[in-house]
Structure 1
Amino acid sequence: MSRVGVLALGPAGVGKTTFCNSIITHMQSIGRRAHLVNLDPAAEATEYEFTIDIRDLISLQDVMEEMDLGPNGALIYCFEFLLNNLDWLDEEIGDFNDEYLIFDCPGQIELYTHVPVLPTIVRHLQQQLNFNLCATYLLEAPFVIDRSKFFSGALSAMSAMILLELPHINILSKVDLIKNEVSRKELKKFLNPDPLLLNAADDKETNPKFARLNRAIAHLVDDFGMVQFLPLDCNKESDSVANILSYIDDVTQWSESQEPKEPKDEAEIDDDE
Structure 2
Amino acid sequence: MVFGQVVIGPPGSGKTTYCNGMSQFLRLIGRKVAVINMDPANDSLPYECAVNIEDLIKLSDVMAEHSLGPNGGLVYCMDYLEKNIDWLESKLKPLLKDHYLLFDFPGQVELFFLHENAKGVIMKLVKKLNLRLTAVHLVDAHLCSDPGKYVSALLLSLSTMLHMELPHVNVLSKIDLIESYGKLAFNLDFYTDVQDLNYLQHHLGQDPRYAKYRKLTKELCEVIDNYGLVNFSTLDIQDKESVGTLVKLIDKSNGYIFAGIDASAVEFSKIAVGAVDWDYYRVAAVQEKYMKDEDEDFDDK
Q: Deviations over 1:115-146 (max 9, x none)?
A: 20121112101211101110011111111331
Name the CA distance, whole Å, in 2 between partners of 1:195 and 1:12: 28
Say if 1:221 and 1:259 are closer, same or farther in 2 by CA, change over 3 A. closer
Percent of aligned positions with the same letter in both sequences? 34
Q: Are 1:41 and 1:54, in contact at CA under 8 Å, matched by a contact in 2?
A: yes
Q: Residues 1-273 of structure 1 correspond to what in structure 2 (within 5 A)?
A: 2-97=1-96, 98-178=98-178, 182-183=183-184, 186-206=187-207, 207-236=210-239, 238-258=240-260
Q: Secondary structure at the match of 2:11?
A: coil
Contact 1:6-1:101 within 8 A present in 2 as well: yes
Judge conservation of contact 1:3–1:131 (CA < 8 Å) in 2: yes
Contact 1:178/1:184 (CA < 8 Å) preserved in 2? no
CA displacement, residues 60-83 of structure 1 (integer Å, 9 cap, x when unaligned): 111122223221222122111111
Displacement of 1:201: 3.5
Q: Which residue identity lines up with residue 235 of structure 1 in the other structure?
A: Q
Call closer, same or farther: CA 1:126–1:227 in 2, change over 3 Å. same
Matches of 1:209 and 1:112, distance apart in 2? 30
Closer, same or farther: CA 39–240 of 1 in aligned 2, 3 Å: same
1: distance between equivalents of 2:219 and 2:99? 43
Residue 210 to residue 260, structure 1, CA distance change in 2 (3 Å) = closer
Given that 1:145 and 1:190 are in contact with CA atoms closer than 8 Å, whether structure 2 keeps it comes out as no
Does the CA contact (< 8 Å) of 2:205 and 2:214 recur in 1?
Answer: no
Q: 1:260 to 1:116 in 2, by over 3 A?
A: closer
Q: Provide the TM-score with structure 1 as the length reference.
A: 0.88
- State the Cα distance separating 1:243 from its structure 2 match: 0.6
**Aligned partners of 1:106, 1:260: CA distance in 2, in Å?**
30
After TM superposition, give the deviation of residue 95 of structure 1 in Å.
1.1
Measure how far apart 1:158 and its partner are: 0.6
Indicate the larger mover: 86-95 or 121-130. Answer: 121-130
Amino acid at match of 2:233: L
Whether the 8 Å CA contact 2:39–2:104 is kept in 1: the answer is: yes
Q: Tell me how far apart the structure 1 counterparts of residues 262 and 90 of structure 2 sit (CA, whole Å).
A: 29
Separation in structure 2 between the aligned mates of residue 154 and residue 75 of structure 1, nearest angstrom:
24
Kindly provide the CA deviation profile for residues 2-30 of structure 1, in whole angstroms up to 9, marking residues without a partner as x.
11120111111110111111111111111
Amino acid at match of 1:131: L
Runs of 5+ consecutive residues of structure 1 not aligned to the other structure: 262-273
Report which stretch shifted further, 178-187 or 34-43.
178-187
The superposition leaves residues 82-131 of structure 1 with CA deviations (integer Å, 9 ceiling, x where unpaired) of 11100001100111223210000111011123320121112101211101
3-state SS of 1:223 partner: helix
Instruction: Identify which range, 48-57 or 64-73, moves more after superposition.
Output: 64-73
Cα deviation, 1:135-185, whole Å, max 9, x if unaligned, reads 011111111331111111101001110011111100001111135795497
Change (3 A) 1:246 1:260: closer
Tell me: CA distance 1:163–1:260, structure 2 relative to 1, closer, same or farther (3 Å).
closer
> Size of the alignment, in residue pairs?
259
Q: Could you report, residue by residue, the CA deviation over 1:197-253 in whole angstroms, capped at 9, with x for unpaired residues?
A: 3433324314443222111111111111111111111221x1111111111111111
Aligned-partner SS, 1:115: coil
User: 153-162 or 63-72: which moved more?
Assistant: 63-72
TM-score by length of 2: 0.80
